[in-house]
């Protein structure tokens, strides 16, 4: 069995990780992956200065620092999830992707042949730009030849 666990750091995605670990403990798992998909950085100048705004060199440096911090936070979400599974003696790998979450998840599932997706029914909201409520719905509608378990 190949299991893909979708996480975003939310309470619901942590529950999904726990459920996936229970599934993995009860069967033979050929491959288990933890994926975190994010849309383009939430930090940009178009939201502040509008189209055509030209940031200063200092503003560009600050933007790069903020984007780097965001990426580090995303990596931390994955490393904490991986650590959780390792403590349960479950082997897994991580996948960090930028793109539309539902579309990216569906593409990974089809490309790699996962048997089941485990994800939270709702994820981070607001400015986090990762909406697992709408993402989980879209994944259920779009994925083919793969079961989807949404965890509440």
- 44-84 tens-digit pLDDT: 555 555 666 777 888 888 888 888 888 899 999 999 999 99
> What CATH number does residue 131 fall under?
3.40.50.620
| Predicted confidence (pLDDT) per residue in 88-124, tens digit | 999 999 999 999 999 999 999 999 999 999 999 865 5
Instruction: For residue 17, tell me if it sits in a domain.
Output: yes
Do the beta carbons of residue 132 and residue 150 sit within 8 Å? no
Q: Tell me how many domains the chain contains.
A: 1
Task: Give every CB contact of residue 116 below 8 A, 6+ residues apart in sequence.
Answer: 1, 2, 3, 4, 23, 146, 147, 148, 149
**pLDDT over 80 at 149, yes or no:** yes
- Read off the pTM: 0.83
Round to whole Å and give the CA distance between 106 and 87.
28
Q: How many residues does the chain have?
A: 152
Q: Which one is predicted more confidently, 65 or 31? A: 31
Q: At 45, is the secondary structure helix, strand, or coil?
A: coil
Q: Which of 34, 22, 1 is nearest to 116 (CA)?
A: 1
For residue 48, being part of any structural domain is answered with no
């Amino acid at each position: 069995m190949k299991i893909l666990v979708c996480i975003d750091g939310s309470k619901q995605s942590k529950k999904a990780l726990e459920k996936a670990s229970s599934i993995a403990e009860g069967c033979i798992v050929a491959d288990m992956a933890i994926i975190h998909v994010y849309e383009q950085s939430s930090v940009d100048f178009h939201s502040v200065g509008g189209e055509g705004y030209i940031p200063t060199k200092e503003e560009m440096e600050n933007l790069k620092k903020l984007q780097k911090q965001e990426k580090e936070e995303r990596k931390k979400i994955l490393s904490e999830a991986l650590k959780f599974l390792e403590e349960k003696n479950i082997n897994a790998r991580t996948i960090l992707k930028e793109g539309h979450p539902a579309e990216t998840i569906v593409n990974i599932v089809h490309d790699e042949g996962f048997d089941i997706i485990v994800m939270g029914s709702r994820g981070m909201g607001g400015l986090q730009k990762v909406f697992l409520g709408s993402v989980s719905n879209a994944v259920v509608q779009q994925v083919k030849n793969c079961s989807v378990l949404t965890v509440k």
